[in-house]
Amino acid sequence: TVDLDFPNTTESYKLYSQRVIASDIKECVCRAPDTPYD
C-alpha cells in the first residue's frame, strides 16, 4: 500500500485515497493495450 503522510486529514479519508489510487493503478495495469506492442 502507498503510505503517504497527509496532515489535517482523517484516517478514513487516507484509507479511501489509498483504495482509489490502488484501483486506478490496477485498471491501468490490467487494461489491454489498444495497439499491439512492436
**Domain count along the chain:** 1
Query: Among candidates 4, 23, 27, which has minimal Cα distance to 14?
Result: 4
In a domain, 7, yes or no: yes
Residue with cell 486529514: 9
Distances (CA, A) of 2 to 6, 11, 15: 12, 14, 10
In a domain, 38, yes or no: no
pLDDT at 12: 83
The answer for residues whose C-beta is within 8 angstroms of residue 2's C-beta and 6 or more apart is 18, 21, 22
Model pTM greater than 0.85?
A: no
Whole-angstrom distance, CA of residue 15 vs CA of residue 26: 16
In a domain, 16, yes or no: yes
pLDDT in tens, 1-15: 566 666 666 788 888
Q: Which domain holds residue 4?
A: 1-33
